[in-house]
Structure 1
Amino acid sequence: MQLKIFALTGAAALMLAACTTKEKQTQDGTTNTATGGVVREEAKAETETPPVTPMPAATVIQSQPGPDGSQVDLLSVKVTGDILTVTLRCSSAERYNRETIRVAQVSVIDDATSQRIGVLKDNEGNAMVSNLSRSGSPDNDNMMVDCTSKPGVMWAKFPAPPATSPTVSINLPGVAPFDGIPVQR
């Protein structure tokens, strides 16, 4: 019986000896740890990632007074393929200032030909504008925008004027016109 206990104690001691830890410094400064024949390498601390750079503030092409004391800023007039996208921002000092803009009255004028271009419609007949509010008739559809203390962004898509038209004018009901705006292509 004593022989069995001695044998078990000896086996346990050998197992513990096999599990001892040996550390060794490598040339690159990391530490290798050997445990029972398994080598583990400590990971280097990663260098800090640079902070996220915020996007630059939108450049305003032109500003016009809007309804109810609001201000409407034209942010971009850009052609992609055959589509002209107009992006605007509405802001107001009023706490609760939400604007409803009748889509049928939103247009772009091709300055080279004096042609009025209306808002594009998708395959289902929906006007391609931000925050579309449908009504019984497409003539009464509205684009909604929240112009409270946090500026609201709105956009509308139009068929692109020909490349020979370098500028357009943009008309929104209740907002002074944006005239002679260069088209970005």
Structure 2
Amino acid sequence: MRTRALDLVTSARPGLSLTPMLVASVLLASCGQAGPNENSDAATGDATPIAVDPASTTGSVVRDTAQPASAPAPVAPPIQTQQGPDGVRVDLTRAAVTGDILTVQLAYIAPGDESFSDYFPAEEVSVIDDATSQRYGILKDQSGAWLAAPLFVTKNIRPSAQKGETAIVWMKFPAPPATSPTVSVNIPKVGPFDGVPVSRQQ
């Protein structure tokens, strides 16, 4: 821009001497001119504000796409805890009646520094009605399979877990009468769970 202004002055008046005062005047006049495309947004009022990430060195546009974080599912505390084999902790987490069936669920928690694997006969597991002393074994389905998991070689229950992990075991029994509020659960190689409150779905 400045060179163009000086060229116009010298071409219009070839004999003109460019004194410092004249050069300064020409340059000041040229600085006040804007090109046809300069400041077009400011002139027309069409400027659109854009949110820019202040921490970004590239001036990237910020779009608020973050979704609200969902609250973690609450973890139910164990009803009772007993010591199992090889330092394994066994939590009884459920004793619930639905219809005529009592479901018992256990969590075998392996020690933090080693894996765990064990098995025990399903026929040795029992639930005792504390009110009547009636003993119940695990139910079987129409084909004779135990209603329990995980099963190993059809007749054994086999909890196993990697170090620091948890193995879930569940078993189904005949439900005790509604007049029996608690039961005792007996699992091989695990301390007895006595006086376990039974929850019932209405």
Supply the distance in 2 between the matched residues of 1:168 and 1:183 (Cα, whole angstroms): 7
State the match for 1:92 in structure 2: 110
> What is the aligned residue count?
136
Q: Establish whether residue 175 from structure 1 lines up as the match of residue 190 from structure 2.
A: yes
Render the CA deviation track for 1:5-56: whole Å, top value 9, x for unaligned.
xxxxxxxxxxxxxxxxxxxxxxxxxxxxxxxxxxxxxxxx998643233211
2:199 aligned counterpart, secondary structure: coil
Letter in 1 for 2:197: P
Partner residue, 1:63: 81
SS of residue matched to 2:123:
helix
Aligned to 2:167: 152
Superposed CA RMSD in Å reads 1.8
Q: Does the alignment pair 1:124 with 2:143?
A: yes
Within a 5 Å distance, the mapping from 1:33-52 to structure 2 comes to: 49-52=67-70
Q: Deviations over 1:70-125 (max 9, x none)?
A: 11001010001111000110012151211212101111000011011000111111
1:2-21 alignment to 2 at 5 Å? none
Could you tell me how far 1:68 is from its partner in structure 2?
1.5
1:77–1:84 contact (8 Å) kept in structure 2: yes
**Residues 126 and 49 of structure 1: is their aligned pair in 2 closer, same or farther, counting only changes over 3 Å?**
same
Tell me the SS of whatever aligns to 1:122.
coil
Instruction: Give the secondary structure class of the aligned counterpart of 2:86.
Output: helix
TM-score using structure 2 length? 0.63
Taking structure 1 as the reference length, the TM-score comes to 0.68
- Of 109, 122, 126, 1:107 maps to 126
Residue ranges of structure 1 left out of the alignment (5+ in a row): 1-44, 136-140
The equivalent of 1:164 in structure 2 is 179
Per the alignment, in what secondary structure is the counterpart of residue 84 of structure 1?
strand
Please give the alpha-carbon distance, in whole angstroms, between the structure 1 residues aligned to 2:96 and 2:134.
18
Structure 1 segment 71-90 matched on structure 2, within 5 A: 71-90=89-108
Per the alignment, in what secondary structure is the counterpart of residue 82 of structure 2?
Answer: strand
Shift of 1:151: 1.0
Aligned mates of 1:46, 1:110 — CA distance in 2: 58
Flag structure 2 segments of 5+ consecutive residues without an equivalent: 1-62
**What fraction of aligned residue pairs are identical, expressed as a percent?**
49
